[in-house]
Structure 1
Amino acid sequence: MVLQIVTLKSDLPEDELLNRAKERENNFKSISGLLQKYYVKTSKDGEYGGVYIWDSLQSLKNYQESELAKSIPSAYAINDMPNIEIMDILFQLKDSQ
């Protein structure tokens, strides 16, 4: 499994950003290989992110090449390059319930 953490700065008010995320939710639910996505807000003003859990690096790469991934900057009014970290998950402490 692969963990991807994306943080970005947006010019949108939080309520509008959440509305747009909710509108796009089904698009993310249908991505092959995406096991989970967490929508997060950091402690920095106007900074939000996504924590993705992928079944493989190939699934992540397929997503990165998709139109959905390419639409993120405009959908969320990103005003700078996002920070993206990718890590291999070595093991999981708890099973999903």
Structure 2
Amino acid sequence: MEIVFATFESELEHDAIEETMRQRAKQFRAVDGLVQKYFVHDRERDRYGACFIFDSEESRDAYFASDLSAGVGAAYAVKGEPAVTNAHLLFPLRETEGLPETA
């Protein structure tokens, strides 16, 4: 499994950002290979973003090449460049039913 943590600064107010996240959640439920997505707010730095969990590198790469991913900047009025970190999951602390085995 692949983990992506992405954050950004926005020109929008908090309530507008959260509402946009909630509106877009349905689209993310349909993304092939996206096991989970946590919508986040770093209150200390006032950055918003997400922690994505993908079932494979291919699923991750397909999402980041998609129109849904390309629309993030406009949807959230992103200022500057997002910070993105990719990582391969070694193993989880707790096994979760329904998740694929890790490498």
The TM-score normalised by the length of structure 1 is 0.95
User: How many residues end up aligned between the 2 structures?
Assistant: 97
Counterpart amino acid of residue 69 in structure 1: S
RMSD (CA atoms):
1.1
Going by fraction, where is strand more abundant, 1 or 2? 2
2:25 aligns with: 25
Deviation, structure 1 residue 95? 1.8
Counterpart amino acid of residue 85 in structure 1: T
2:75 aligns with: 75
Deviation, structure 1 residue 43? 3.2
Gaps of 5+ in 2: 98-103
2:64 aligns with: 64
2:40 aligns with: 40
Q: For 1:85 and 1:95, how far apart are their aligned partners in 2?
A: 23
Which secondary structure state, in structure 1, belongs to the residue aligned with residue 44 of structure 2? coil
Which secondary structure state, in structure 1, belongs to the residue aligned with residue 94 of structure 2? coil
Equivalent residues of 1:11, 1:46 under 8 A apart: no
Percent identical across equivalent pairs? 30
After superposing on structure 2, the runs of 4+ consecutive aligned residues of structure 1 that deviate more than 6 Å are: none
Q: For 2:45 and 2:15, how far apart are their aligned partners in 1?
A: 14
Deviation, structure 1 residue 45? 4.2
1:25-84 CA distance string (max 9 Å, x none): 110000000000001111334311100000001101000110000000000000110000
Q: For 1:91 and 1:35, how far apart are their aligned partners in 2?
A: 15
Gaps of 5+ in 1: none
Q: For 2:46 and 2:11, how far apart are their aligned partners in 1?
A: 7
